[in-house]
Amino acid sequence: MDSQLPNPPKVTLYTGLSILVVFTIICLFYFVSTLVDMSQQWGATPGIFMFNKGVFYIPGIVLGLLVLIFVIVYESVLRKHLTEKIASICTRTGIGAVALMFVVPNIADYSFEKFLTKQNYQICVGASHQWLHSKIVAYTNDEITCDAIVEKE
């Protein structure tokens, strides 16, 4: 292994690192605010629940970004080589982050669907929509509520 670490220009290094940190903070803020919004829906609008499956990809994304930020800081800012143990932990955590991106949204979607079905909710197809992996499912407790939501849109 080469003993010399790459020496990127400081402006490039800190600009890129700042962008990653800001993006991570934005993702965390969006994740938390969406969860708060979904929890407030439960009591505020009886008979209607809008489930956002797309937001559940964020925990995996944030974990992957945190690993990337750690490696950049460790090697480029602190100018240290990753030890085999640290590199192994980072690799496993990165793989875990990718796994989280595929597992958590599907588990959340399945769990919410089962829970809401037991609460006598049904999927309102007219008010639900999907774009790529971002899926928003509208659950209502009757057809009249579903029709009212569809008419508003």
Task: Provide the pLDDT for residue 1.
Answer: 47
Q: How high is the mean pLDDT of the chain?
A: 90
Model pTM score? 0.84
Backbone CA torsion sign across 27, 29, 30, 36: positive
Task: Provide the pLDDT for residue 153.
Answer: 66
Q: What is the dihedral of CA 33, 34, 35, 38, to 10 degrees?
A: 120
